[in-house]
Amino acid sequence: MPTSRRSVLASAAAAPIASTVASTVGQAQRPAAAGAPSIVKPLPPERFVDFGTNAEMRWDSVDPRRYLTPQADLFVRNHTATPTIDAATYRLRVFGDGLREARSEADAVSLSLRDLRRLPRTRLTAVHECTGNGRSFFASQQGQTVSGTAWRLGSVGTVEWEGVRLRTVLRRLGLDRDAVSIMATGLDDPFRSGTTDYGRVRRPFPVTKGLDDALLAWGANGQPLLPDHGFPLRLVLPGWIGIASIKWLGSLEVATRELTSPWNTTFYRMTGGDYPADSPPLTVNPVRSAWELPLPAILAAGRTHTLTGRAWSGAAPIARVDVSLDGGATWRRADLDDRHPHGHHGHHRRDRGDRGHGWTQFSVRWPKPRPGSYQLLARATDRAGRTQPDVSPLNAQGYFFDAVVKHPVTVV
Ligand SMILES: Nc1nc2c(c(=O)[nH]1)N[C@H]1C(S)=C(S)[C@@H](COP(=O)(O)O)O[C@H]1N2
Ligand SMILES: [Mo]
């Protein structure tokens, strides 16, 4: 029987994927320089609202003819700052007692980008969205005070990710039958808030999700990841809240016990407001929708407008979008664009596991509105039967604002 680390990997069902062991010297990223901006890419004010370490896309800058969100326009959510990582020396370290051959962190399997890119690759289109998207509407629409970045609806996009399925990597490494939990840890600087150092951004997820549709992504929309979006490698957990998709992925710990981190015990679970004290960590995103219009919008009277927007859900494709152009007095069904059924828009061979996690474009004609003040409403329903409510349950950190947004429009 082979005994070296190299041959442990080689003895797995398929070809070996790694040939080295983690160096103890640490990872090859440079810390962000003091005073350097958190976000590296340009944030032109006509396309972004800049919150410093976070930036959201402006919905009125979205091109209705374009299904995918270009990386240049995608929102950024950084706990600290985008690190600079050298792809040539980058390694993903995998360890834990949930591997068939248990490994300590010091003895982790170390995978280069080349190791990963030699494996069968896949592309997967999915909505990518922050848990707190829509947070500002708790205040502006429900008169409630919550903490966190005052996003409108722009901390969302739809991306065609490219990478290797996590299950491909885990199967080749070999999983213990009792493995239940995987901790993903980023290479960005530790997150400090107030006097607390929470350590590196990290969040556990169940092995079942890891074996289902999790992706280790090195590409987005046919390009390498931008630094702000996780270059050279990020995790993608389709349909789940943004924090689950750890950027600048440094390590995966696979364990036979439930792992925890502040990102599933303190943050990203419901506290306060309408929720009991023991709400579970958040996972699947709710149903939401947005108009591709400025907020508030001004439209010309006497002309026929085609109003466009998008609807999405973490659980299932969108089944219908009901819209009102008069503040909820009357409703009609919006037309749904079926050119990209839930993200299946492709020239490429679809992975069987790509169930289509993209958003759905909708439109409605508004013939010759008279001058005045209006509220546009859109209420999306997904195929799992989930619908946007009129009011979102209050919670202290302002997560999951999924209520129908009252979008003000002045017709002049
Ligand atoms: N390492 C690391 N991963 C992270 C974060 C982070 O700050 N550090 N932010 C998370 C959150 S809260 C969100 S919403 C998404 C944002 O991804 P994006 O900036 O690529 O849009 O990344 C998640 N992954
Ligand atoms: Mo987020």
What pLDDT was estimated at residue 317? 94
Is the minimum distance from the CB of 237 to ligand 1 under 6 angstroms? no
245 Cβ below 6 A of ligand 1: yes
User: 15-19, 59-63, 142-146, 173-177: which range is least confident on average?
Assistant: 15-19
Statement to judge: residues 261 and 320 lie in one domain:
no
CA–centroid distance, 242 to ligand 1, in Å, is 6
pLDDT at 4 over 50: no
Q: What is the pLDDT of residue 278?
A: 85
pLDDT tens profile 47-97: 999 999 999 999 999 999 999 999 999 999 999 999 999 999 999 999 999
pLDDT tens digits, one per residue of 232-261: 999 999 999 999 999 999 999 999 999 999
Looking at residue 137, which CATH number applies to its domain? 3.90.420.10
CA 178 to ligand 2 centroid distance, Å: 30
Q: What's the CA-to-centroid distance between 185 and ligand 2, angstroms? A: 15
Does the beta carbon of 41 sit less than 6 angstroms from any atom of ligand 1?
no
- How far is the CA of 288 from the CAs of 129, 228, 239, 275, in angstroms? 10, 25, 13, 20
Q: How far apart are CA 242 and CA 69, in angstroms?
A: 15
Least confident of 30-39, 153-162, 369-378: 30-39
Same domain, 240 and 350: no
User: CB under 8 Å, gap of 24 or more: what pairs does 272-275 form?
Assistant: 272/394, 272/395, 272/396, 272/397, 273/144, 273/393, 273/394, 273/395, 273/396, 274/393, 274/394, 274/395, 275/393, 275/395
Domain boundaries, position 336: 287-411
Helices first, then strands: H and E counts in the chain: 6, 27
Domain count along the chain: 2
Domain at 325, CATH number: 2.60.40.650
Q: Which of 265, 296, 313 is the last residue of a domain?
A: 265
Of all protein residues, the one whose alpha carbon is nearest to atom 12 of ligand 1 is 243
Question: What pLDDT is attached to residue 17?
Answer: 52
Distance of CA 217 to the CA centre of its chain: 12
Whole-number pLDDT of residue 277: 83
The CA 154 to ligand 1 mean position distance, Å, reads 14
Q: Which ligand is nearest to the CA of 189?
A: 1
Residues 179 and 218 in one domain: yes
Name the closest ligand to CA 76.
1
CB-side neighbour CA atoms (13 Å) of 243:
24
Report which ligand 1 atom has the smallest distance to the Cα of 77.
19
User: Which backbone phi and psi does 263 adopt, to 5 degrees?
Assistant: -80, -5
For the Cβ of 247 lying below 6 angstroms from any atom of ligand 1, the answer is yes
Banded pLDDT at 345 (limits 50, 70, 90): very low
Angle at 307 between CA 301 and CA 310, to 5 degrees: 155
Contact 160/68 with Cβ under 8 angstroms?
Answer: yes
Q: Could you tell me if residue 171 is inside a domain? A: yes
Does the predicted TM-score (pTM) go above 0.75? yes
Measure the CA–CA gap between 60 and 76, rounded to whole angstroms.
Answer: 17
289 and 401 in contact (C-beta within 8 Å)? no
355 lines ligand 1 (CB under 6 A): no
The answer to whether the CB of 75 is under 6 A from ligand 1 is: yes
Q: What number is the average pLDDT over the span 329-347?
A: 78
Nearest residue (by CA) to ligand 1, atom 23, is 243
